[in-house]
Amino acid sequence: MRSLLALAFALALAGCATGGTFGSGAGLIAANYHAADRLMEVSRGQLDPARPIIVATVVDIDELERSSTLGRYISESVSARFTQHRYRMIEMKFQNSVYMKKGEGELMLTRELREIATSHQAQAVIVGTYSRARNAVLVNVKVVQPESNIVLGAVDYPIEIGRDVCAMVWRDSRDCREYY
């Protein structure tokens, strides 16, 4: 009996060892929730849960006016996790104009987004980018102070590309053949 319990415990621990990448379903939710938890942790003391925060759509770093199902889903998950921790979240559905290019790839909030943040008295805006690699999507999510563009906290994390993630990133299913 004791060895059966030890085996069950070892299997449970092995199931928790994901290596930090998540490919689909519940793992994708867990990755985004973990990233949001880390974002809250690194921004602790700089964010007031009683003051509003805007979440913008996570966009493709190479095409800042483009997002994907995955980018929109990451934004939704991060917002949900902040909400679960009693932060006041303002949902904004942006198709573009979240960032603008300045200089050599530097990102900043657009004037439009700063004005929206001001009109909602938002203390911060959560923004993010993703980069498509061969076996993973690399995600960066930041909490930015809208008046100054000062980054209050940032988190990077990988999402393993499997069938679901591939379908959420690439619009043409032919790009996902190797994952099926």
Q: How far apart are CA 71 and CA 29, in angstroms?
A: 13
pTM: 0.77
- At 99, the pLDDT band (50, 70, 90 cuts) reads very low
Structure tokens at 112: 């439009």
- SS3 assignment, position 18: coil
- At 104, the pLDDT band (50, 70, 90 cuts) reads very low
Q: In whole angstroms, what separates CA 33 from the centre of its chain?
A: 9
Q: Is the pLDDT of residue 86 over 90?
A: yes
Give all strands (DSSP E) within the chain, no chain letters.
53-55, 59-60, 89-91, 99-102, 106-109, 124-132, 136-144, 151-160
Q: What mean pLDDT do residues 98-111 have?
A: 49
Q: In terms of DSSP bridges, do strands 53-55 and 124-132 run parallel, antiparallel, or are they unpaired?
A: parallel
- Give φ, ψ of 136 to 5 degrees: -155, 160
| Domain ranges (residues) in the chain | 19-179
Q: What is the largest CA-CA distance in the chain?
A: 66
- The per-residue pLDDT of the chain, averaged, comes to 78
Find out if CATH 3.40.50.10610 is the number for domain 19-179. yes
- At 179, the pLDDT band (50, 70, 90 cuts) reads low
Of the ranges 5-19, 47-61, 114-128, 138-152, which one carries the lowest mean pLDDT score?
A: 5-19
What are the pLDDT digits (tens) for 139-169? 999 999 998 889 999 999 999 988 888 888 8
* Residue 125 near residue 104 (C-beta atoms within 8 A): no
Of the ranges 31-40, 67-76, 91-100, 125-134, which one carries the lowest mean pLDDT score?
A: 91-100
Q: In terms of DSSP bridges, do strands 89-91 and 59-60 run parallel, antiparallel, or are they unpaired?
A: unpaired
Q: Which residue's entry shows tokens 């200089």?
A: 103
> What are the CA-CA distances from residue 69 to residues 49, 65, 66, 122 (Å)?
28, 14, 10, 26
Q: What is the amino acid identity at position 179?
A: Y
Q: In terms of DSSP bridges, do strands 136-144 and 151-160 run parallel, antiparallel, or are they unpaired?
A: antiparallel
* Residue 52 near residue 153 (C-beta atoms within 8 A): no
Q: Is the pLDDT of residue 123 over 60?
A: yes
